[in-house]
Every structure is written in structure tokens, then in C-alpha cells.
Amino acid sequence: MNQLETRELAYFVAVAETLHFGQAAERLGITQPPLSRAIAHLERRVGVPLLERTTRKVRLTAAGEVFLTECRTLLAAMDTAVRKARKAAEQQRVTIAARPGSGPGVLPALLAAEAQGPDGVLTDVVFTYDEIGALQDGTADVALMCQTVATPGLEMIELGPEKPVVLLPAGHPLAERPFLTLIEVEALPGYEAHLPNEALDTMVDRVALGQLVVVVGDSVRGRLGESVRAVPVHGYPPTQLVLAWLPDARPATSRLTATAHAVLAGRTPGPSASASTDPESSADVEVSGDGEIERSAGWPAPAPTAP
């Protein structure tokens, strides 16, 4: 069989997802006749019918269902290959993946240290709710994230433990308690075990209105205002703030991880900054407004894995 073309795969996915040749053609920016011919040609090359067509509707055959899944995988892999190739050409640019509203101390410190470095590395930030996915598909080179369990396949630096707190409205009956147990938190109306896919400020507004109860990292206290209280939670799984990357990371990424070690050690990064992990430097850190390293860091933590 002759090799299939990317264009043919994209055409088929458009038809398979819309189940309408006219809508698929509009989505692709072409007219319907060449699309119909391309799909018919594709089916001849594959050797089996992929679509059932009547005057009233289009539907996928069993072979078409399987082919659609594989086409999506192939097209996604090609997009990833393009992104990674472009990244490789930009040896002095590194992209960090982080959640919206996260890393209130560590992320600015890391960016500031990179800007002062001697190697001319340009650092970008992409905000996402799937930090690991951003590493795997080439969108980002490094991820700043929290983890409660080990993540196989990644190399990482532990930046420090995250202390969990539950966010409650200021007038809540439990808002002035010294701490709550995880069981008590899970029983509260409005409690969500997983962080909503929204910015921290939005979550805080929803908590203040009594629409949400959620566990986050204690470093967000400075962004809560007067209408929300943060109460420590006992029994929450240990969480670490980490900087993570894939083993085959580019040289520029090594520069960034060396900078992270330098920030943890409280020194100005330089060309000889070591990339080896210093266990004593893994204490929890945060950077104040004047750039000094202080105790206590973190960001919104992930949901607990178990009581």
C-alpha cells in the first residue's frame, strides 16, 4: 500500500467528527466535491469501507471507528514532532508549564534569576492544568507543579513541602478553628476533591460566596483578602512542590534546572552552577518582594489521593 498523506488523515478526521461532508468541507476550507473524492481515494488505499453513506446521513463503519482513533493519534504525534523540532532550533529558549495563579514565590524568583544569568537563556511561561501533558507533547520544557505521589519517567528537583489549608468563607462556623481533619473537610457542603480548572482568584471568589470548599497550598494566604480564611488540614497526603522535566531535556533546560538549584541555595546563579541536587537545599522556600529567600512556599495543591 502506498504511504498515506497527512492531508488525507486530516480530511477523514474532519468527516468522521462531523459526520457531514458539507460541514467537514467548511471546517477544512475546501469545497465538498474534492473532499468526497479524497475520502473515496483514501478508502481504496486502505482497502476497506470507512464510512457508510446514504442520502440522509453518514456514519462510521467498525473499521472507520478504529481508523479514526489511529488517525487522531498519528496527527497528534506529528504535531508534537513539529513542536519539539522547533524547540530544538531555539536552544536558548525554555518554556515552563505552571497552573494559573500558581508559584506565587518560586516562579517569579526563578524567572528573575534566569533574567540575570550570563547565558542569555530566554524563559517563557505557559499556563496549563496538565503540566505533565505539556512536557510530553513538547509544549513546555520544564514543569513547576505539586505532586502527592511519585511520577515515573520524569526527573525533578524537590523545591519543598506544601502545607495544605482549606479555604472557607470568613463567616463560616469553622473558619476560626486552629485546624480541621481531612474527614471534616470532606463532609463540608461544597467540598471539591479536585481543584477546579480555573484561576486562583476565581476560586477565592467562589469560596467567599459559599459556592466552593477546596484544599490548596498555604502560600496562597497573601492573595485571599478579608472574605476568605485558610484553615490547616490534618491528614492530607504529603505534597511536594517540584520542578520536573523529561530525561531527554535540551541543554537550555539544564541551565534552568541549575538556576533552580542556585535559587534554592540562596546564591546568584552563574555559568558554573551545578545541576546536582543538594538535599539541604530542598527546604520550602519563597521569595519576598525584595528577592530574599524566606520560609514557606507553594501553590494550590492537588486533591488528596486518600484520607
- Mean pLDDT over each residue of the chain, to the nearest integer: 77
Residue-wise pLDDT tens digits, 257-300:
777 777 666 644 444 333 333 333 333 333 333 333 232 333 34
Q: Which pLDDT does position 63 carry in this prediction?
A: 94
pTM for the model: 0.51
- Asked if residue 145 has pLDDT above 50, the reply is yes
- Strand 93-98 relative to strand 142-147, pairing: parallel
**74, amino acid identity:** L
Higher pLDDT, 50 or 160: 50
Tell me the C-alpha distance between 93 and 250, whole Å. 10
3-class secondary structure per residue, 137-156:
CCCCCEEEEEECCCCCCCEE
- Cell triple for 9: 488523515
Burial of residue 140 (CB within 10 Å: 0-12, 13-18, 19+) is: buried
Residue 222 reports pLDDT greater than 50: yes
The pLDDT-based confidence of 252 (bands split at 50, 70, 90) is low
Give the whole-angstrom CA distance, residue 250 versus residue 153. Answer: 16
pLDDT value at residue 167: 94
- Within its chain, how far is the Cα of 241 from the centroid? 14
How far from the centroid of its chain's Cα atoms is residue 66's Cα? 29
pLDDT bin (cut points 50, 70, 90) of residue 228 is: very high
pLDDT tens track for 88-134: 665 567 888 887 666 556 777 777 766 655 555 567 888 888 888 88
Distant-in-sequence, close-in-space partners of 9: CB < 8 Å, separation ≥ 6: 71, 74, 75
pLDDT at 205: 92
Q: What angle do CA 49, 50, 55 make, to 5 degrees?
A: 85
All residues at 6 or more sequence positions from 158 whose CB lies less than 8 Å from its CB, including other chains: 240, 241, 242, 277, 282
Can you read off the three cell numbers belonging to residue 36?
468526497
The pLDDT score that the predictor gives to residue 156 is 82
Which pLDDT belongs to residue 15? 93
For the residues 190-201, what does the mean pLDDT come to?
Answer: 84
| Model confidence band, residue 194 (pLDDT cutoffs 50, 70, 90) | confident
Confidence of residue 210 (pLDDT cuts 50, 70, 90): very high
- For residue 1, pLDDT beyond 70: no
Amino acid at 141: D
Residue 51's pLDDT is what? 94
Specify the pLDDT at position 102: 61
Instruction: Report the pLDDT averaged over residues 140-152.
Output: 79
Q: Are 299 and 219 in contact (CB under 8 A)?
A: yes
What's the pLDDT tens digit per position in 14-69? 999 999 999 999 999 999 999 999 999 999 989 999 999 887 889 999 999 999 99
pLDDT of residue 172 exceeding 80, the answer is yes
C-alpha cell at 298: 507553594
Residues ≥6 apart with Cβ < 8 Å to 133: 139
Residue-level pLDDT at 299 = 38
Contact 299, 242 (CB under 8 A): no
pLDDT value, residue 57: 87
Residue 257 pLDDT? 73
pLDDT tens digits along 173-191: 999 999 999 999 999 999 9
Pair type for strands 228-234 and 180-181: parallel
Cell of 236: 492530607
